[in-house]
């Protein structure tokens, strides 16, 4: 793939993710802390963004930087690591600091409890929860 094709593919990906997130170009530019014309040029494949800008765009779209870097052709798809749960909670802009702290505390407590359970004992399957909050019956 030529550099021009990479820029075009990256721009198309960024635009589609922005549209999926229902963000206007102006709002996305504000979130990524870049100018409207610059973001427009990136989306049209006319400009190659820096690593800093790619990270800002990824953050604005609630994507991992690795996802953006894959589409930029800067890393191979196999190189990206699976997302870390704690990092995902910390990075989620939809949550308040208090909500993040509560989620992290619950997550860590579950991990701690599960690490003390005997590895010989298989984990029990999780029952689906209905909309009313009780275990669903088939």
Domains of the chain by residue range: 3-79, 85-116
Helix extents (H) in 1-138: 3-20, 25-32, 36-43, 51-60, 65-72, 85-91, 97-116
Report the distance separating Cα 58 and Cα 54, nearest Å: 6
The CATH topology of domain 3-79 is: 434 Repressor (Amino-terminal Domain) (1.10.260)
Least confident of 16-30, 48-62, 65-79, 103-117: 65-79
Q: pTM of whole model > 0.85?
A: no
- pLDDT tens digits for 110-120? 877 877 764 44
10-29 core/surface letters (b: 16 or more CB in 10 A; e: else): bbebbbebbeeeebeeeebb
- pLDDT tens digits for 125-138? 445 555 555 555 55
């Amino acid at each position: 793939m030529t550099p021009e094709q990479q820029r075009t593919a990256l721009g198309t990906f960024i635009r589609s993710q922005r549209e999926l997130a229902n963000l206007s170009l102006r709002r996305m530019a504000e979130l990524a802390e870049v100018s409207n014309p610059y973001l427009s040029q990136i989306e049209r494949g006319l400009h190659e963004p820096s690593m800093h800008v790619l990270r800002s765009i990824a953050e604005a779209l609630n994507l991992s930087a690795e996802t953006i870097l894959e589409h930029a052709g800067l890393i191979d798809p196999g190189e990206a690591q699976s997302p870390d749960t704690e990092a995902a909670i910390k990075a989620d802009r939809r949550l308040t600091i208090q909500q993040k702290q509560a989620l992290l505390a619950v997550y860590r407590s579950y991990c701690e409890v599960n690490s003390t359970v005997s590895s010989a004992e298989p984990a029990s399957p999780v029952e689906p929860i209905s909309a009313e909050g009780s275990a669903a019956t088939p």
